[in-house]
Amino acid sequence: MVVEKELPLAGLVVVDMSQFLSGPYCTLRLMDLGARVIKIERPDGGDLSRRLYLSDSESGDSTIFHAINRSKESLAIDLKSERDMQALRKLISKADVLVQNFRPGVIERLGLDYEAAQEINPRLVYCSISGYGDEGPWVSRPGQDLLAQSRSGVMWLNGDEGQGPVPFGLAIGDMLAGAAAAQGILAALVRRGVTGKGGLVETSLLEALVDLQVEVLTVHMNSGNKLPQRSGFRSAHAYLSAPYGVYPAFDGYLAIAMTPISKLADLLAMNELAPYRDDPKSWFTARDDIKALISARIATRTVDEWLAILEPADIWCAKVLNWPELLQSEGFGVLDMLQTVGRDDGISVRTTRSPVRIDGQRPKFERAAPHVGEHNAAIWEEFDLG
């Protein structure tokens, strides 16, 4: 196991003034790379995501809060107290990175915008995550994931053509913005290592969601601005032809990616596909009809029976797993991506580990998320904040 002092960001201090998902996910990535993350929270309840939703945990904090705030430290700061704000400014003067995702105007009222923070600490790498950037008509709108997805166009890529817009089943805007922010911070830290100067890193949920669509949005802008045409039958990608999709087998679901219809027709023993074998254009123009024929055929056998036929022929296909099947699979098990984090009050949460391996090993941390203000006394003393 890689120990914390051996990780690339060991010794760096991150002041995390963010809450909910985007900022905390960013600082989680930095923590997994060795940084020390000090989470700034309100004394009266802390990060609002502590109460986002509860699972079987009886800690009073949501499971998602533990997942993205594991192994961080909590410093409770009353933003209306001048004494506490002076302490926070002193902490910032000794930090390497600051991350905030307040709504526009809030950080300025606190006197901790980039220009003010730079005066406190010229070496500071300052990161701001917003909903829609810092100008334009959407600036004051709530930077919430579902709303950002709604404005990004991404909902028209999911589901079948007749369904209308379909959101992703997870907070992709938040998570992608957090990942983009972490990339920007790492780049700014590298530059600081050369120049000695900090810098400003900015991103937003909307920018991250647009970047996610680089493949299909580029096609749209360079093909007469045609809107994506999702398949009306078991759609999986608006811009790819049949057989690309997920098909119900006798005992589960089978995903089939890019495959020539002529080759698939032979393997599936489907004379019904003869009209389309040598007409690649039809694989898109008639994809609903083709996929309906394939679906009827796939339904006659089990997933394993089809895999035994298709995989040896180098067809790109896979069984569609649910979470229990994934967690029990050998392919997932060898990655060793799970860990249990705990706290001194008996809280124990099973969660994921970093997706990044360092020197061949995946960092592992055992501490769950902190109580609000759990590290106040230690941090005040260590950084001489009084």
Looking at residue 367, the DSSP 8-state letter turns out to be B
Give the tens place of pLDDT for each residue, 272-320.
Answer: 999 999 999 999 999 999 999 999 999 999 999 999 999 999 999 999 9
Look at residue 58 in the predicted model and tell me its pLDDT: 52
Q: Which CATH number goes with the domain that contains 115? A: 3.40.50.10540
Neighbours of 278 (CB within 10 A): 9
- Which residue range(s) make up the domain with 21? 13-212+334-383
Q: 116 — phi, psi (to 5°)? A: -70, -40
Per-chain mean pLDDT for the chain: 95
Q: Per the structure, how many domains does the chain have?
A: 2
Residue 225 lies in a domain: no
Q: What DSSP letter does each residue of 276-341 carry, written as one string?
A: GTT-TTHHHHTHHHHHHHHHHHHTTS-HHHHHHHHGGGT--EEE---HHHHHH-HHHHTT--EEEE
Question: What global pTM score does this model have?
Answer: 0.94
Looking at residue 102, the DSSP 8-state letter turns out to be P
Q: Taking the CA of residue 10 as centre, how many other CA atoms within 13 Å lie in the half-sphere pointing to its CB?
A: 9
Element (H, E) at 377: helix 376-382
* Rounded mean pLDDT, 202-212: 98
Instruction: Say if residue 175 is in the same domain as residue 63.
Output: yes
Instruction: Say if residue 177 is in the same domain as residue 41.
Output: yes
- Boundary-marking domain end, from 270, 285, 320: 320
| Residues paired with 247 in a beta bridge | 254
Look at residue 386 in the predicted model and tell me its pLDDT: 87
Residue 159 lies in a domain: yes
pLDDT of residue 363 exceeding 90, the answer is: yes
Length of the chain: 386
Which strands, in side-by-side order, build the sheet including 245-248?
245-248, 253-256, 317-319
Neighbours of 239 (CB within 10 A): 15
Instruction: Say if residue 49 is in the same domain as residue 92.
Output: yes
- Collapsing DSSP states into helix, strand and coil, what is residue 218? helix
Does the annotation count 251 as an active-site position? Answer: no
**Distance (Å, whole) CA 225 – CA 284:** 18
Catalytic site residue from 47, 61, 174, 266: 174
Instruction: Say if residue 108 is in the same domain as residue 132.
Output: yes
Q: Which CATH number goes with the domain that contains 264? A: 3.30.1540
**Distance (Å, whole) CA 323 – CA 230:** 27
Instruction: Say if residue 274 is in the same domain as residue 143.
Output: no
For the record, the structure tokens of 46 come out as: 């802390």
